[in-house]
Chains A and B, each alone.
Chain A
Amino acid sequence: MNTSELIKEAKSGSAAAQKYLFDLLADKMLMVCRRYVKNQQDAEELVLDGFFKVFKNLSSFSYQGDAALHVWVKRIMINECLMFLRKKNVFKMVTEGQVEEIPLQEKALDNLAAAEIFNLIIQLPIGYRTIFNLHVIKGMPHAEIASLLEIAEGTSKSQLSKARTLLQKFLSQNHIEYAKRKSQ
């Protein structure tokens, strides 16, 4: 059964098809949620809420390929994460003056494994991490992030700048450790 038929079955209320879809997407969606929410249990709850919304609104989704399905489900998960963070009121960020920015060497990230990149990102403070995820990984412009998180656009930019600097520091440490390990 291909994904299109699977979605049709899930739309008609087939529990088996819904479970198959869940199994197909749950792992990746858990990782997406964990990039925003560090805690595993919180992330699992958000996956649960997100899939509940996915199946509730599946009738409004028109299948146009696997990539579109992934994007749609991922967007729902990210929205759930942002709602969760907003409820916790973690976005009390203030615009700070220009900080010394160290450019992020993305080539260095390429050399890392996915899990290592993930571990570096989740070490960032929650505000930095959220804006880094939204702007660098999701590709959302600062204006949109500002309206979504109800913060000033400048705040979003400064938070991103700090996130890059911190991440570069982590990378440097990681690189030193990696070099040490390699030399041993």
Chain B
Amino acid sequence: MLNENPNKDFHWKSKLDDLESLPGEIFNKDALWDRLHIRMQQKHGNKKAAWYWAAAACLLTALLIPLLFSKKNGNTIVKSNPAQQTIQTPATNVLPEGKKDSFGFITTIAAENKKPANLFENTEKMIAPANHKVLTFENVPVKKNKEELVEPVVIKEAVEPLGTNSNAVALVPGKKKLRVVHINELGEPADKPPAMTAQKTEHHSFQLKLANQEVFVNPSGAYTKTGFTILSSKNSPN
């Protein structure tokens, strides 16, 4: 033996090492082996079970993560009515007095949800704010009776909110006062068609300055049959 005293003079140590059994004592080796074997198998089984549990946990996590994300994304979907509704109210305040028999509507788009900004968190496109007002002029015959104008005209798919693909529902409270939008505030880029002006022949014309162009409404009342005014423009000296 390596660690034992290398005492060559005495043999009693080697005799002791070689001793395998004592006379009269029984050592049941097979029973001991059976116990050892069972213990080793249990340990092996425990290891296997641990691996199975770990695999099951991974699988469960992998299944749950997409589920959680889909729930999160589900919040961004706006609860909407099947039919998208846009309420148009007559733009009687927009035009100066005396032009109220002209046509034009303010379309107000409002989401039902009180926190519309949160609804569009993940959209990359520009979001239309709540109560966004779009001035539209459509070829709708003007009704002179104001009583009839109180009831808003409900049309479907009238105006799409800017850059949104959501189904924002526009429901305007009836008593809510609409913001007055003056026509001169509606400066649009020069490349857009100058459809923002409206006039009637018997009223004075007004002027828009778009980019370096001055746009004049023809005072002679050159209404087209479609109801749009004919605009003329010239380059601004500035």
A→B interface (CB under 8 Å): 15, 18-19, 22-23, 26-28, 30-31, 35, 40, 44, 47-48, 51-52, 55-56, 67-68, 70-71, 74-75, 106-107, 109-110, 112-115, 117-119, 121, 136-140
Query: Can you list 25 A-B contacts (CB < 8 A)?
Result: A18-B37, A23-B29, A26-B27, A26-B29, A27-B21, A28-B17, A28-B18, A28-B19, A31-B19, A31-B20, A31-B22, A48-B35, A48-B39, A52-B36, A68-B2, A74-B1, A106-B12, A110-B10, A114-B18, A118-B16, A121-B16, A136-B5, A137-B5, A139-B3, A139-B4
For the complex, is B13 an interface residue (Cβ under 8 Å from A)?
A: yes
A136 to B13: give the CA distance in the assembly, Å. Answer: 9
A140: chain B residues at CB < 8 Å are 3
Report how far A146 CA is from B16 CA in the complex, Å: 24
Further pairs besides A31-B19, A138-B4: 4, Cβ < 8 Å = A55-B40, A56-B43, A68-B2, A117-B12
| A30 (CB) vs chain B CBs: closest residue | B27
Which residues on the A side are within 8 Å of B9 (C-beta)?
106
Chain B interfacial residues counted at CB < 8 A = 32
Contact in complex: B33, A19 (CB < 8 Å): yes
- A109 CB to closest chain B CB (Å) equals 4
Q: Is the interface of A mostly helix, strand, loop or mixed?
A: helix
Are A71 and B3 CB-contacts (below 8 A) given A27-B20, A114-B15? yes
Q: Mark B31-45, 1 if CB is under 8 A from A, else 0.
A: 011011101100100
Residue on B nearest A32 in the bound complex, by CB: B17
Nearest A residue to B11 via CB reads A110
Asked whether B23 is an interface residue with its Cβ less than 8 Å from the other chain, the reply is: yes
Chain B residues with Cβ below 8 Å from A18 are: 37, 40
Q: Pick from A15, A28, A137: contact of B37, CB below 8 A.
A: A15
Closest to A78 in B: B3
Which residues from A are CB-within-8-Å of B23? Answer: 115
Closest 7 CB pairs of A and B: A27-B20, A109-B12, A114-B15, A139-B5, A114-B19, A139-B4, A106-B10
Distance to closest chain B CB from A95 (angstroms):
24
**How close is A57's CB to chain B, nearest CB, in angstroms?**
13
